[in-house]
Chain A
Amino acid sequence: MSSTKTSDKAAKTADNILFTNQRVTDDDIYRNSTQFSAWSFTKESLNEIRVELANKTRLRYQQKIESYFMEEEAETLNDEEKEAIKLEFSLGISAEEQLQIVTLYTQKVQVFCTKLKLPSEVVATSMLFFKKFYITNSVIDLHPKNLIFTCIFLACKSENHFISAETFAAKVKQDKQKILENEFRLLESLKFSLMNHHLFKPLHGFYLDIQSVLQGKIDKNYLGTVYEKSKKMLINSYLSDAFYYYSPPHITLTALIMEDEQLILKYLELKFLGFDPETSSDSLTESQKISKNMYDKLMKTVSSCKTDIKTSFLPDRDTAWKIDARIHYFIDPSAFVKRFRAQKETASDITEEPDQKKQKVE
């Protein structure tokens, strides 16, 4: 009931805004950002996009690989091998697997950035660029390891932390050409929208606002530690999908609440309610009811955001190796045949040991 009411209201404001001299709120400004218009999703729609991508790539590669084995190397393969190939490649890389492996590599992006001592906004931007790229691109088409440095390089530029391509390539000991090669593809996948409203400024803002709302009731040094801890949590939250589902202030508040629930709830209560949230709705005035509704809505969003931040898509070591290996076979199918044959030879001892070594050498 309440949701339909608010939806009507929202629709009305959206219609009227052009024709009346209604003032533009900060919320409207956020609604006009690309972060909201192009890079915010509901959980269902985002999942749909990912599954569709996985299906499409699977079909594309199946055809390619089948024709490769059946026509070019048909004579060298025996039935057993053909069967194994079918089994291996029929699955493709599922949306979930892609998400797992991308999250793993996003973490690597983060690690590299910290090693390069980049500011946290650049770190966050490169992580976001990386993740956004793999919403519309399959890991098979471009292996994540080839995109890491391109992302960091582009993020440096877009966050006004300029490093020249030569210096950057020398710093990370990579080929400059390789870094620049995928830059345009990345830009295209980002829909050329590079602006991100990050979580660090809101965090800083709340840090200040808490001080002014809870004047004299708070130890400033303690608040400083809460700030530092929340900042770490926020950087890690970029690994989750929260950034697509919630606006920056909500994620920031969630992180703060996860750090010190009592303090932040008190702050929100004083700021938006001015009365005890437990009081029954009967004894409230109209305006109090409205603010209570908003407060409850905020709390609901925060609690669902909490679960989203906590959900980690990081695969464990074994699954990660497995997925990585399969991506590798999709890129180079003959490697799979070789490994299959080698496995058969040492049939008595089937492990993935040799495979892992190979990966490590790379």
Chain B
Amino acid sequence: MSEAIALTENIEQIDLTEPKTETIKLYSDDDSDVDSENENDDMRDIVCPICKTSRYLSPDMKFLVNPECYHKICESCVDRIFTLGPTKCPYENCNKILRKLKFKRQIFDNIEIEKEIDVRNKVYKIMNKFLEDFETREDYDKFLEDREDVIFELSNLDSNNETQLEEVEKKLMKYEQMNKRLIQENNQKMKSQEMKQSDMESVQQTLQKERLALLKKMEEQNIEDNQSYKQKIIAELSKGTDKNKIIANVKMEIKLKKSSQRRKLEELNKVLKSNSYTHNHFNKMQDANEEFADVPFTPFNGDRELHKKYKVLEDYDFYYDPFISNLSKVPKYIANGFNEKNIYDKLLNEAFLGFGVFVEEEKKQAN
């Protein structure tokens, strides 16, 4: 009797655990990893599955993963096991050969994301064409789609489908061989772009630093000067010359000094502003948009008639319209984006909206 109960319990346990492992299989193919993931709730309970050291005892413990199999191993274990050269992964049933050099810190909690990003970086390095390498936009879009497909397949096919995986990898290899030169060129291009960006940032930073330093210097000097002037005045006064004259002289001196400093600051500000690196990109975008500002937005990208029956005068001050020009003086409307020109445009547009529609004639035809 009791045996039977125990048996059923066993069956139940199996039933319960089996689907569980299956759902989790997406994330890893080993049970021990699942355990550690479940324990993630409390960071202190994390235990290295190899040496069983828990974080509670050694709070400095760090986990590393190898992109071959993404199994978590603590740092000391990596040192211990792999210093002598490439060896098998210490996890059970994992026969991958790992090298110490390839071990790295895990950035994302979710191992799957970590995996995908690695794959992504790898694929990006190979399939790295730019928009200008294609003749049409559609070709480029197709290329992007292909690239995403490869990434998806590489990161989501698990080891069970090795043949498929191999196929994809073969495809990638083939692509690499075919486009070897282009890939190199593009990689260099990318690098130079990055360099430029970092250059730009450093220039901006140095300029900014200079400015701050100058400001600080000015302030310090101010305080210093004030004290020295006071002393100067007292000293001069003790000599007994005309006091008004002394004060005027000292004031002149201060003014000259200050203005020279101010000029320096202004120059620096100018450089900061005019520097193409530091130029505000938002403004540039606005300038670009100005060209298309006349075209009203439509879902099909400006399919409205461009030749209007009217023309809003550039110099809209010419219009004599006390009502609207008065409105444009009210601060609360200006704050809301009130723009005389827009209003004039709208009014003129309404004036010719349906100008060519002869209602009776067209309705007659419709009947």
Contacts and interface: CB of A to CB of B under 8 A. Distances in A.
Interface of A: 3, 6-7, 10-11, 21, 23-27, 29-31, 33, 36, 40-43, 45, 197, 201-209, 211-212, 215, 220, 223, 244-250, 252, 294, 297, 301
B interface, over-half SS? loop
Contacts of A30: 353-354, 357
A10 B306 CA distance: 20
A27 B354 contact: yes
B358 interface: yes
B352 A205 contact: yes
Given A36-B354, A212-B318, A23 B359 contact: no
A211 B354 contact: no
Contacts of A211: 318-320
Contacts of B359: 36, 40, 244-247
B3 interface: no
Nearest to A246: B359
A29 B363 contact: no
B360 A245 contact: yes
A24 B303 contact: yes
B303 A40 contact: no
A31 B304 contact: no
A193 B169 CA distance: 61
Interface string B324-367: 00000000000000000000101111111111111111111101
A201 B358 contact: no
Nearest to A23: B305
A244 B360 CA distance: 9
A167 to B, nearest CB: 24
B336 to A, nearest CB: 15
Contact of A26 (B344, B352, B364): B352
A252 B353 contact: no
Given A36-B354, A208-B319, 17 more contacts: A10-B365, A23-B305, A26-B354, A26-B355, A27-B355, A30-B354, A31-B354, A42-B360, A42-B363, A201-B347, A201-B350, A202-B352, A208-B351, A212-B313, A247-B359, A249-B351, A249-B355
Contact of A205 (B313, B320, B347, B357): B347
A30 B358 CA distance: 11
Contacts of B355: 26-27, 247, 249-250
B284 to A, nearest CB: 29
5 contacts: A30-B357, A42-B360, A202-B350, A205-B347, A249-B351
Contact of A301 (B308, B344, B358): B358
Given A247-B354, A297-B358, A212 B319 contact: yes
**How many of chain B's residues touch chain A, expressed as a range?**
35 or more
A40 B346 CA distance: 23
Contacts of A45: 363, 367
Contacts of B353: 26-27, 29-30, 197, 202, 248-249
Contact of B351 (A42, A206, A245): A206
Nearest to B321: A208
A6 B308 CA distance: 21
B354 A24 contact: no
A331 to B, nearest CB: 35
A283 B298 CA distance: 42
B364 A42 contact: yes
B292 interface: no
B181 to A, nearest CB: 40
A78 to B, nearest CB: 51
A247 B347 CA distance: 16
Interface string B249-275: 000000000000000000000000000
B20 interface: no
Nearest to A17: B303
A311 to B, nearest CB: 15
Contacts of B311: 212
B358 A205 contact: no
B357 A209 contact: no
B367 A42 contact: yes
